[in-house]
Amino acid sequence: MTDTRPVLRLKPKADARRIRHGHPWVFADDIVADRRSRAIPPGTIAVLEDAERNPLAAVAATMESRIAARVLDRDPGATIDGAWIAARLGRALAHRKRLYPAPFYRLVHAEADGLPGVVIDRFGEACVIQPNAAWADARSEAFADALTELGLAHVLLNATGRARGAEGLDGETRWLRGGLDASVAVEMNGAIYFADLTGGQKTGLFYDQRPNHAFVAGLARDATVLDVFAHVGGFGLAALAGGAARALAVDGSAPALELAAKGAAAMGRSEEFETRRGDAFDTMAALGAEGARFGVVVADPPAFAPAKPALTAGLRAYERVARLAAPLVEAGGYLTLCSCSHAAELSKFRAASIRGIGRAGREAQLIHTGFAGPDHPVHPQLAESGYLKALTFRMLD
């Protein structure tokens, strides 16, 4: 098989040990770029060789991308076909079935599940696949076939991923199998959420926060809760399920807040759930001016620092979130601040959050650091796969 595939060769200065030790990416600067390699169509399966022409792995090549090769299999002769995809999906599914009794979870977490650039979230008999790499997009039908064999009747290809542009991919979201017109109800941590698979953010629901929802819900018993950047009610609805007295959800998206309210109604908690549409920063400032105080405040913003060039501005934004959110917490109450920016690693995010709390004139103790749930495994060689951080502080004054 290997002799029929195109070859990508590492430059002499490139560290082949990284690949041998399991790193899944090869950057364009590390590959010999000649006429033949530049002519390889995006998404083609190729053989990666070291500078001495020793085969290292079967890779997906996209020479126009910063990540010019993604390791698919450490066997250079591996056949990357529908059976190979089905085996990887089956391996991922076996892990999730051990974790959760109900079929609502992240089924595939990209490189960490051996499927580079591929994210799949499951919603019962439906799933949303984000093939953010050219090799996977070209094999979307094989993914759909394999998912159907696993019992999923509805398969949506979501083409909104930010990485697709770098891979030369289109932005057409479409059903590959079946189709659903209505939002999907998801029970998680005792709360009921409604996910809009076709029109919502990302895949429609953020499963990664599941353990952090549960932790905050435990602190929120009998408390009033402010959930900022609430999306479809993530922390607020979990808090109500955990016994919170009231919850206010703030978001800029009216459709997301409508789904949040629908979830509260399904839980029988409409009377205790309020929504407020508006810019999160402006709304927090307005609540502060109104003298509003809450027992628990959560801010779970979008990625302010999705890549290193945005890191400085992103950290300033996280500091500003903390500065505006801290005054809204009652003395003895709790503040949870989240970041899904992989470029803002934990120590930098923590420092920005602590600066913001200090500049708000509040004294706090850090009581808990949370991460994504186990359906979002971390690739040991890829820090980017462990992107989510959730810091919970107790306000002492």
Active site amino acids: 340
User: What angle do the packed helices 82-99 and 140-149 form, to 10 degrees?
Assistant: 50
Q: In the block, which residue shows the tokens 């919970």?
A: 392
DSSP-derived secondary structure letter, 287? H
- Tell me how far apart the terminal alpha carbons of the chain are, to the nearest angstrom: 67
> What is the dihedral sign for C-alpha 84, 48, 43, 383?
positive
Instruction: Name which of 189, 281, 206 is nearest 243 in CA terms.
Output: 189
Q: Cite the beta strand spans of the chain per DSSP E.
A: 7-9, 25-27, 44-49, 55-61, 67-73, 104-109, 118-123, 126-131, 154-157, 174-177, 184-188, 191-195, 224-228, 246-251, 273-277, 294-299, 329-339, 364-370, 389-395
Residue 66 phi, psi dihedral angles, 5° rounding = -60, -40
